[in-house]
Structure 1
């Protein structure tokens, strides 16, 4: 992950920020068990390993702290938190309520927002491709982006801020990892939500989104994205 010359404008639009790349890498390692609860995440060591400056590593660790994946303490540094199922399940009804509200608001706008609908379709296609390839992290990333797009299309910045603060990316990644159902199910389960949004059916979109977010709360041993 060595630093490269500054890309042109078109490439910059497609390439995620370095902090995001580092954050996703660290999150994948935590979910895979390479870093376990209590393990230190030493900023300068990670930066040296990845061939980047310490700034994007520091920013990535702060993002993970906001997601409640790591604890950062002065003079101690960052350590991986334990991730109890009960804590993740406690966030489920909050997420469900937020996504229900977001879907209701978004459905009233999306029929007039073809670009936003295209983004949702692209993420659904990405989920299906990832499922076919057995790529659980890829499925999780597209699922998070799908739901984030719905919240963003609701055009309520407070709603988006609260949704982001829940650490949905972590919950989704854990759900995909632990789900006892085929990955294809997780992808296909988003289709009815998209259909309702595209049709402008606010109440159906809200109900389906709320039910979808509650699936892994009702079955904490097999959460779905």
Structure 2
């Protein structure tokens, strides 16, 4: 699969999620593959792949002879991922804190810079990529393959997008929200790093679950 096709699939997926969350696509409404192909002027392949991903994430469901339809997605259902992610990243931070080096710090700083550039350009997709990579670097630094696999299965970019859309987050504020994590890593205190990561993730979860209240 080419890089261009992969990026297009991700952008189509983000677009459909946004439309589901903002009510453009109502629960039970069909998401028609050919309509998206014609609207976006793309081939069928990335659209079909995006819809398959969305079905795996339970945003849409396919039924024989009825096509793909939107599932009713509640804030509570979406919010269930955040306590799990918070626990995983707290553990990752504790494990990574004692292995921090200048190379890791430089990579994390680069991702924050990337977030800032994307935020100024209001490029949501690019910001998501850098945000997810920032957290992935910390999980990788924990050097625990089971932890990394569990974390990766949460589809971090998708749920970060959900947070942005449902809570109307200011893109420019997102990069700075990662600075306390970076400062804690510089100190190398496992308890503090874990705490900052948990607080960061839980605050996103609270924004999502509270968005409809």
Decide: shared fold, TM above 0.5. yes
| C-alpha spacing 1:133/1:43, structure 2 compared with 1 (3 Å) | closer
- Cα offset for 1:204? 1.5
Cα distance between partner residues in 1 of 2:171 and 2:53: 27
Hey, what does 1:83 align to over in structure 2?
73
Deviation at 1:108, TM superposition (A): 3.3
Deviations 1:84-133 (A, max 9, x none): 11112222211110111122233333416x1x544422221233334445
1:146 counterpart (123, 134, 151): 134
Distance 1:48-1:108 versus aligned 2 partners, 3 A rule: farther
| Runs of 5+ consecutive residues of structure 2 not aligned to the other structure | none
CA displacement, residues 174-206 of structure 1 (integer Å, 9 cap, x when unaligned):
322344775444321201112223443322211
Deviation string, structure 1 residues 22-74 (Cα, Å, up to 9, x no partner): 32333344344433332222233323443444332222122222333222334
Task: Name the structure 1 match of 2:84.
Answer: 94
Aligned to 1:3: none
3-state SS of paired residue (1:40): coil
In structure 1, runs of 5+ residues without a counterpart are: 1-5, 7-11
RMSD of aligned Cα (Å):
3.2
Cross-structure match for 1:160:
148
Contact 1:107 1:201 in 2 (8 A): yes
- Relative distance call for 1:69 and 1:150 in structure 2 (3 A) is farther
Structure 1 length normalisation: TM-score?
Answer: 0.74
Change (3 A) 1:131 1:49: closer
Q: Which has the higher contact order (CA 8 A, sep 6+)?
A: 2
In structure 2, the CA distance between the partners of 1:217 and 1:53, relative to structure 1 (3 Å rule), is closer
Name the structure 2 match of 1:221.
210
